[in-house]
């Protein structure tokens, strides 16, 4: 059953969080008020249930006493009416709204059951022959209120994970004005404002450090447990916790565009989105509602027509309807969804597509984009070789740096770092042109310079001179000057310490790992062998990555692709599950279903294992929520009546409440394995 229809705007609103971090508080307070309301109704009904039970003829009969007096049935009627209207109000209001929406659900069933019980008992007071069951009505409402109160507290626990994310954003910031520091509300900050962050405080906005340095704890945002050193020019994320230094930050954008706000919105959307499992649970809950009504009325007809009293037949009907409430079923999946989505976000795993996340259990092959995921992505120049005696090594790297100065590519960064170390001045480049997947070209100092991959040489049938020697782990770019091969620059990239562990765990889970890279075969083979991967695909251009993924799918593989989300977008979209890594604050634009804030390959393994654990919890909850009905429903209908086994409406209510609480507790035990 859809969450927000299940309690018709009353109970599960805490799942629908506001996107503004400061609005989130009122949502939370509203939910706390709802819990307080159920608690108050429970205690009032509890106080009234004692006298109702003592005045009930059936209870007196059990106790062997006769406390009837003139008008006692009217007092019983008055007390029960208060219980019915005041205690039953949430259910009656739910019955009306579900009936209006033509979507009968849990509230409809409970409302229907208590209305039948009350109406029949009132008729007895005013002359109909038979036994009233006011005491059953009171205990039924009492247990229902208690169940809702407990369950809402469990649900609140699941949504608290998101509240914690919302609360990461501090309410105030120290804005630096000429000659003074002034405290302002965080949501009034705009781009280019300067704020001061003192030791131990939370960073109030995304931005760049202007002066000062410190270590920041970003674990609640990225899952990275170690404090990260930040110096002038480094990016900081709102919500991270400052260590013992103080620094000034130039704000990058308003609070609503911050990384944290995007994460909260993403988590919120993912919590509201439906996956296949949720749709399955919704369908099951709808059917259970129909079964409850049909079985309830059928039970009444059977007992009444076989000669039982109308009171007995009614009691069976009420018990069947109460036991059949698809409450646990309605909560089975949404509770796990709320918990898993928010927990993931705290570990730097951002779920944008619920179905992709739940399908993680089906993955048979993970395709890794090498640079920056399995390796650190920090290329360092290991050698510069000139094929032409007239061109010095420094000239070669100077000309190459002119072409690379506007590129974000790791190779470009490596070349520029080397130029910086050698204190070489970078010349200007004109007529810049990118050669898709193969390199760049431009005019520098009047010469036409190209910096290209080995693939470009192959395609243009350019022979490599004999003195070319690169080892297996090096990535090489060739420099051409006026169409002549002038030399090459070799760069090496270090493999991440965590990569081998990640690949090993995948193997234990019977998941194949494939390396996909634009790099040369030697480098790919070396990395693949070092890490113990199943296979590698090398020298692929960005547009060919898509075809390689398709080939794997044609062979029956369920493929997860990890990439940096920008040039890998088509391949990520083609994969059964696209995982964008290290894309930081560009989380809104990606084609991937899942975004990993860190580029750590261990996170990919955590994600798959957590996807499996989440799915297990959902299935456990669904089995429990439907299974208990299979056992309890026939007992409620009176199948074993001849053997003396009969469930009262109150026992039915207890069973229903227990099943709901079991589901809530099971969902709350979900954890991300580190």
Burial class (CB in 10 A: 0-12, 13-18, 19+), 522: middle
Tell me which of 187, 268, 282, 369 is the catalytic residue.
Answer: 369
Q: How many CB atoms lie within 10 A of CB 484?
A: 11
**583 HSE (CA, 13 A, CB side):** 27
d(CA 329, CA 348): 30
Radius of gyration of the chain (CA): 34
Residues 6+ apart with CB under 8 A from 46: 142
Q: Is the separation of the CB atoms in 45 and 138 below 8 Å?
A: yes
Two structure tokens written together for 417: 């770092």
Q: How many CB atoms lie within 10 A of CB 553?
A: 15
Q: Which helix (H) or strand (E) holds 335?
A: helix 327-346
369 is catalytic: yes
Long-range Cβ pairs for the range 482-488 (8 Å, 24+): 482/447, 482/448, 483/448, 484/388, 485/387, 485/457, 486/386, 486/387, 486/388, 486/391, 486/396, 487/384, 487/385, 487/386, 487/387, 487/388, 487/391, 487/393, 487/396, 488/384, 488/385, 488/387
Residues 6+ apart with CB under 8 A from 660: 147, 151, 327, 328, 331
Q: Is the separation of the CB atoms in 349 and 606 below 8 Å?
A: yes
d(CA 457, CA 487): 12
Residues β-bridged to residue 380: 492
Residues β-bridged to residue 512: 365
Q: Is the separation of the CB atoms in 91 and 107 below 8 Å?
A: yes
Residues 6+ apart with CB under 8 A from 199: 214, 242, 243, 244, 245, 246
Coil, helix or strand for 468? coil
- Catalytic residue ranges: 369
């Amino acid at each position: 059953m859809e969450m927000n229809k299940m309690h018709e705007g009353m109970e599960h609103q805490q799942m629908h969080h506001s996107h503004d971090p400061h609005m989130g508080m009122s949502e939370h307070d509203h939910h706390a008020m709802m819990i307080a309301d159920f608690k108050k109704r429970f205690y009032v009904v509890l106080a009234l249930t004692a006298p109702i039970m003592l005045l009930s003829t059936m209870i007196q009969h059990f106790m062997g006493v006769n406390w009837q007096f003139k008008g006692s049935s009217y007092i019983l009627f008055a007390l029960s009416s208060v219980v019915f209207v005041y205690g039953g109000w949430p259910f009656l209001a739910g019955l009306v709204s579900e009936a209006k929406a033509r979507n009968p659900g849990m509230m409809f069933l409970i409302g229907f059951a208590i209305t039948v019980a009350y109406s029949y008992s009132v008729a007895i007071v005013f002359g109909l022959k038979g036994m009233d069951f006011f005491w059953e009505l009171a205990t039924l409402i009492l247990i229902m209120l208690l169940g809702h109160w407990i369950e809402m507290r469990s649900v609140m626990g699941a949504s608290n994970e998101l509240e914690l994310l919302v609360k990461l954003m501090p309410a105030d910031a120290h804005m630096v004005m000429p000659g003074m520091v002034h405290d302002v509300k965080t949501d009034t900050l705009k781009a280019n404002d300067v704020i001061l962050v003192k030791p131990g405080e939370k960073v109030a906005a995304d931005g760049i450090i202007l002066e000062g340095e410190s270590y920041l704890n970003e674990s609640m945002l990225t899952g990275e447990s170690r404090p990260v050193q930040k110096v002038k020019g480094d990016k900081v994320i709102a919500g991270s916790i400052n260590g013992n230094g103080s620094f000034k930050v130039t704000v990058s954008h308003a609070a609503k565009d911050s990384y944290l706000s995007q994460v909260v919105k993403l988590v919120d959307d993912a919590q509201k989105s439906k996956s296949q499992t949720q749709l399955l649970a919704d369908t099951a809950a709808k059917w259970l509602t129909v079964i409850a009504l049909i079985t309830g009325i059928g039970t009444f007809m059977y007992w009444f027509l076989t000669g039982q009293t109308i009171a007995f037949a009614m009691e069976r009907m009420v018990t069947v309807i109460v036991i059949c409430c698809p409450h646990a079923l309605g909560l089975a999946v949404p509770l796990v969804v709320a918990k898993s989505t928010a927990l993931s976000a705290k570990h730097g795993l951002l779920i944008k597509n619920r179905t992709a996340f739940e399908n993680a259990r089906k993955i048979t092959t993970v395709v890794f984009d090498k640079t920056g995921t399995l390796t650190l992505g920090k290329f360092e120049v290991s050698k510069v070789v000139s094929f032409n005696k007239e061109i010095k090594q420094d000239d070669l790297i100077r000309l190459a740096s002119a072409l690379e100065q506007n590129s974000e590519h790791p190779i470009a960064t490596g070349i520029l770092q080397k130029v910086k170390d050698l204190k070489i001045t970078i010349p200007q480049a004109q007529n810049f042109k990118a050669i898709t997947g193969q390199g760049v070209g431009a005019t520098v100092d009047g010469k036409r310079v190209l910096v290209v991959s080995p693939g470009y040489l192959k395609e243009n049938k350019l022979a490599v001179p004999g003195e070319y020697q690169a080892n297996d782990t090096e990535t090489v770019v060739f420099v051409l000057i006026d169409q002549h091969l002038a030399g090459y620059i070799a760069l090496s990239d270090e493999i991440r310490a965590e990569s081998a562990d990640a690949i090993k765990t995948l193997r234990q889970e019977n998941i194949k790992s494939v390396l996909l890279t634009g790099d040369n075969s030697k480098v790919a083979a070396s990395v693949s062998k070092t890490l113990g991967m199943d296979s590698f695909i090398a020298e692929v251009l960005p547009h060919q990555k898509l075809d390689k993924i398709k080939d794997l799918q044609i062979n029956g593989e369920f493929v997860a692709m990890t990439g940096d989300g920008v040039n890998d977008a088509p391949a990520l979209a083609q994969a059964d599950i696209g995982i964008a890594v290290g894309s930081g604050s560009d989380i809104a634009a990606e084609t991937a279903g899942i975004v990993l804030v860190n580029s750590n390959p261990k996170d990919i393994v955590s994600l798959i294992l957590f996807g499996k654990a989440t799915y297990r919890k959902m299935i456990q909850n669904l089995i429990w929520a439907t299974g208990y009905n299979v056992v309890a429903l026939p007992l409620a209908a009176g199948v074993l009546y001849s053997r003396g086994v009969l469930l009262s409406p109150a026992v039915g209510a207890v069973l229903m409440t227990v099943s709901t609480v079991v589901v809530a507790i099971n969902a709350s035990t979900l954890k991300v394995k580190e």
